[in-house]
Amino acid sequence: MLVGEEGYAIQKSMQILVALGEIFGADRMIPVSSVQVAGVSYYNLGDAGLEYLENLAGKGARTRVMTTLNPAGMDLENWRELGIDENFARNQTRVIGAFVRMGITPSCTCTPYLVGNKPAFREHVAWSESSAVTYANSVLGAMTNREGGPSALAAALTGRTPCFGMHLDENRTARVRVKVNTQLNSVPDFGALGYAVGKRIGADVPIFDGITHTDLEQLKSLCASIATYGGTSLFHIRGITPNPTQIPEERFFVTEKEIKEAYDALNDEASEVDFVAVGCPHCTVEELEKIANLLDRKKVTREFWICTARQTMQLAEKHGYAQKIRAAGAKFACDTCMAVAPLKGRFNILATDSAKACYYGRGTNDFKTRMGTLEDCVRAAVTGRWS
Ligand code: F3S
């Protein structure tokens, strides 16, 4: 591959992987069974990224393993309803076309594990979306580094990744013990935990002690926020997550005080909101059911985006949840999200149930943010007020 016997795209890809492996001291390449590619939104890629992808696709680049995509900059079907302009849509469609020509499934979701790309325990994969990487490592027990867009694509085209970091057992053991001395009840509570702990430990691998139960939605929220505010792509929860680990001596406590401080830090002063967005990471069908029930016989008065994978939305249609959500005036934002769509300047104050969405709402779009439960978000979408 490296000497070019398999063509230009493979050679370029292997050069990227070899360079990465040399930087991080890998001693070999290993096969991967699936890839998840980020860097899909034209908002972030721009013309240079689009050209790079079309060039690769034109030179015959084809994937060797199952490869799925992170969210794009728009709903690939209902972009007009979300206020996306024609020019952006044309370029975003070209980006997706290039990926599809390379053999990539345009699933456009940060929850690939909900829609068919779900690696098994100890399976080596090359994923790039940070919340999905953390979910794969921590909850599924798969093994992946946090790939950049180009290195994930290179892994997709070669079926290989350099063996370092999270592919090695010695880097997957806990380094710090976090004793959780408070009740965590909701999805944003787990987002607040990820904020508090991520800020404190950075990229260290933690083990949480004292969490007695979680659900999928809470775990995906924790994965998103701990990776965003810290940098780790793996955590353990004693008695819940599947990876073996040593229990370190060093520990610190998270109490009600730290969780409250996290909420305070993520909530700006604002009593009214003009944009409500949930589904960061993308909503599960259970969350869609809950939203449908909360919206029953109500009408929203604010732009309300429900970000989810298209397949998850289709499942919600079969159950009748999607129809209730649309009847209330809320909008599905399939294939995309509040962070990668071109939203700057359109809204001022975002209400969400996601700590990660607060980070990107502020950083990318200059929004003020309010974070609360799904119930708080639906109430804000209906009344326009945050109380
Ligand atoms: Fe997913 Fe977008 Fe959040 S990619 S994790 S919904 S920032």
Q: Of 280, 287, 350, which is best to mutate to test ligand 1, by the most ligand atoms within 8 angstroms of its C-beta?
A: 280
- What pTM did the predictor assign? 0.97
> 143 Cβ partners below 8 Å, 6+ apart?
122, 123, 124, 125, 137, 166, 167, 172
Q: Pull the structure tokens for residue 18.
A: 């070899």
Residue nearest to atom 3 of ligand 1 (CA): 280
**Residue 206: pLDDT band with limits 50, 70, 90:** very high
Q: Is the CB of 280 under 6 A from ligand 1?
A: yes
Q: Is the CB of 131 under 6 A from ligand 1?
A: yes
Asked whether 236 and 172 are in contact (CB, 8 A), the reply is no
Distance, in Å, from the CA atom of 270 to the CA atom of 293, rounded to the nearest integer, reads 27
**What value does the mean pLDDT take over residues 37-58?**
95
The tens digit of pLDDT for each residue in 106-156 reads 999 999 999 999 999 999 999 999 999 999 999 999 999 999 999 999 999
Q: Is the CB of 198 under 6 A from ligand 1?
A: no
For residue 85, the model assigns a pLDDT of 96
> 250 Cβ partners below 8 Å, 6+ apart?
175, 176, 177
pLDDT at 387 over 90: no
**What value does the mean pLDDT take over residues 170-184?**
97
For residue 134, the model assigns a pLDDT of 98
**Residue 232: pLDDT band with limits 50, 70, 90:** very high
Element (H, E) at 208: strand 206-209
The tens digit of pLDDT for each residue in 59-111 reads 989 999 999 999 999 999 999 999 999 999 999 999 999 999 999 999 999 99
- Ligand 1 centroid to residue 339 C-alpha, Å: 6
Q: Is the CB of 355 under 6 A from ligand 1?
A: no
Quote the mean pLDDT of the chain.
97
- Ligand 1 centroid to residue 187 C-alpha, Å: 15
pLDDT at 191 over 90: yes
For residue 250, the model assigns a pLDDT of 79
